[in-house]
């Protein structure tokens, strides 16, 4: 017998064994724990007999109504921070996933526009303010090239406000990233216990209401008068611009142009994810979905399925590597059986390219990273979908447009050589 609770212990907040008599209470407790910040999964263990049993009584326990008072402009903490912002010449914001969950984007955009402060996001918070906004510097934490530029700007700042930011969304270079902890202020709804960086001030408050209160009372001069944030944004655009008529850069640019403002894009782990996270211009929060700390391969396909089921009105694109898709290719049957019109954009470089790059950076010869050439277009058709191979941007754009009119799923295998990632991020 497998001990599921022990097996899942590193991955979940708790495990509960369900019995018919106490099922309602146990499920209510599990839901409350899962939805308590920081949110996370809870494991429920049902034996086959329990799963088939009928509860002695129908006892539905609803969670209590949670009231969270808003922070107002009269709060002393708001005034204290507003004064610090007023004195700062180079303030900067870093926003994370919990700011997205609290719907803090409009309040954040309103505040940064008043003071001219740039916003860096974690890759999970991309789009909390539209990434075509001049004050949005995009997502950090995946690309060493981008991180080097962004960290220099952070260190040049004199006040850093992290909003709903969890360092698990970043990489090692972002541990104690500000240099002087005194200039870092954390605004978080729950007290973090990670110890991964140190802040001079920690404000435990809902990000959205706190930012709204700050914007209501702040009326200071514009900041960053030397124009450094704009220079950084331009440099990032230059570094990650397309370097040819075909390849991963061009594929992402074409997808960005065709997908539309309402699209949801999902991506699994690999070299394509790092480049996509940097180049994708997110129009809103949660428009790019990806794995967090586990960096899971093949995450894009189940994420896309869930997103499409949750909101059938939005176009959904799953951006995947060939290695990732081969790990979970059976999910194409789920697309078929649910008749979901999802478009899979497959980066087929016949390589575990990110692992190959890491091997090369460590001075190792490539080992175990070369993949055979699967005919994914034929596989997609075998699963009842539409499948196409493309090797230029015109064909790729044509297939993206054609996929909009189909009822079932479409897989577009974009073929290029893995060497296109050399020096890309």
Domain boundary at 206, 236, 266, which?
236
Asked if 345 and 393 count as a contact pair (C-beta separation under 8 A), the reply is: no
Q: What is the CATH number of the domain that holds 394?
A: 3.40.50.970
Domain boundary at 214, 236, 258, which?
236
Identify whether residues 232 and 245 lie together within a single domain: no
The answer to whether position 197 is within a domain reads yes
pLDDT, position 57: 66
The answer to whether position 59 is within a domain reads no
d(Cα 277, Cα 124) in Å, to the nearest integer? 9
The answer to whether position 68 is within a domain reads no
- Tell me the three state secondary structure of residue 285: coil
Identify whether residues 142 and 188 lie together within a single domain: yes
Domain boundary at 236, 263, 295, which?
236
Identify whether residues 209 and 289 lie together within a single domain: no
Identify whether residues 275 and 208 lie together within a single domain: no
What token pair was written down for 406?
A: 């189909």
The answer to whether position 69 is within a domain reads no
Report field, pTM of the whole predicted structure over 0.75 = yes
How many distinct structural domains can be found in the chain?
Answer: 3
Identify whether residues 127 and 162 lie together within a single domain: yes
Sheet of 201-204: strands edge to edge? Answer: 136-140, 119-122, 91-95, 159-163, 184-188, 201-204
Asked if 300 and 332 count as a contact pair (C-beta separation under 8 A), the reply is: no
Identify whether residues 312 and 281 lie together within a single domain: yes
pLDDT tens digits along 164-208: 998 877 877 887 788 888 999 999 888 767 777 788 999 999 999
What token pair was written down for 339?
A: 């008749």
Identify whether residues 407 and 290 lie together within a single domain: yes
Identify whether residues 209 and 292 lie together within a single domain: no
Identify whether residues 128 and 193 lie together within a single domain: yes
Average pLDDT over residues 307-315: 96
Q: What angle do CA 65, 189, 85 make, to 5 degrees?
A: 135
- Tell me the three state secondary structure of residue 21: helix
d(Cα 238, Cα 383) in Å, to the nearest integer? 41
The answer to whether position 301 is within a domain reads yes
Q: Which domain holds residue 230?
A: 76-236
Instruction: Please name the residues in contact with 31: beta carbons below 8 A apart, sequence gap of 6 or more.
Output: 42, 63
Q: Is the dihedral of CA 120, 125, 128, 130 positive or negative?
A: positive
The answer to whether position 85 is within a domain reads yes
Identify whether residues 218 and 332 lie together within a single domain: no
Instruction: Please name the residues in contact with 231: beta carbons below 8 A apart, sequence gap of 6 or more.
Output: none
Residue 305 has pLDDT above 80, yes or no: yes
d(Cα 23, Cα 44) in Å, to the nearest integer? 10
Q: Is the dihedral of CA 399, 405, 408, 409 positive or negative?
A: positive
Among residues 383, 372, 392, 391, the alpha carbon closest in space to that of 410 is found at 383
pLDDT band at 56; cut points 50, 70, 90: low
Select the more confidently predicted residue: 295 or 146: 146
What token pair was written down for 197?
A: 């960086």
What token pair was written down for 52?
A: 């088939």
Identify whether residues 132 and 191 lie together within a single domain: yes
The answer to whether position 62 is within a domain reads no
Select the more confidently predicted residue: 56 or 198: 198
């Amino acid at each position: 017998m497998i001990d599921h609770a022990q097996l899942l212990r590193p991955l979940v907040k708790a495990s509960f064994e369900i019995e018919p008599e106490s099922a309602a209470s146990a499920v209510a407790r599990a839901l409350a724990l899962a939805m308590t910040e920081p949110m996370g999964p809870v494991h429920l263990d049902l034996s086959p007999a329990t799963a088939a049993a009928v509860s002695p009584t129908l006892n539905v326990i609803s969670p209590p109504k949670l009231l969270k008072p808003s922070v107002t402009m009269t709060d002393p903490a708001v005034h204290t921070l507003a004064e610090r912002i007023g004195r700062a010449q180079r303030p900067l914001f870093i926003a994370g996933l919990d700011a997205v969950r609290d719907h803090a984007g409009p309040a954040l955009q309103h505040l940064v526009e008043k003071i001219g402060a740039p916003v860096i996001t974690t890759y999970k918070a991309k789009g909390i303010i539209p990434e075509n906004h001049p004050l949005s510097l995009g997502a950090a934490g995946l690309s060493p090239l981008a991180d080097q530029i962004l960290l220099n700007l952070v260190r040049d700042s004199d006040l850093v406000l992290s909003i709903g930011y969890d360092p698990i969304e970043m990489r090692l270079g972002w541990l104690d990233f500000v240099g002087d902890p005194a200039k870092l202020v954390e605004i978080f709804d729950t007290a973090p216990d990670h110890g991964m960086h140190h802040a001079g001030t920690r404000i435990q408050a809902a990000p959205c209401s706190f930012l709204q209160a700050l914007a209501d009372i702040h009326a200071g001069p514009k900041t960053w008068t030397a124009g450094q944030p704009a220079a950084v944004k331009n440099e990032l655009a230059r570094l990650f611009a397309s370097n040819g008529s075909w390849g991963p850069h061009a594929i992402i640019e074409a997808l960005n142009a065709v997908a539309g403002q309402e699209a949801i894009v999902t991506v699994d782990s690999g070299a394509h994810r790092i480049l996509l996270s940097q180049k994708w211009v997110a129009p809103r929060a949660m428009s790019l979905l990806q794995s967090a700390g586990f960096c899971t391969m093949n995450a894009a396909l189940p994420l896309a399925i869930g997103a499409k089921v949750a909101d059938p009105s939005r176009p959904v694109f799953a951006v995947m590597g060939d290695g990732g898709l081969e790990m979970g290719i059976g999910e194409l049957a789920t697309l078929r059986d649910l008749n979901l019109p999802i478009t899979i954009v497959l980066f087929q470089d016949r390589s575990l390219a990110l692992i190959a790059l890491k091997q090369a950076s460590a001075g190792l010869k490539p080992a175990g990273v070369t993949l055979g050439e699967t005919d994914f277009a034929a596989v997609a058709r075998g699963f009842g979908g539409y499948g196409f191979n493309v090797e230029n941007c015109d064909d790729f754009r044509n297939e993206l447009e054609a996929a909009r009119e189909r009822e079932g799923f479409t897989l577009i295998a974009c073929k290029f050589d893995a060497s296109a990632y050399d020096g890309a991020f």
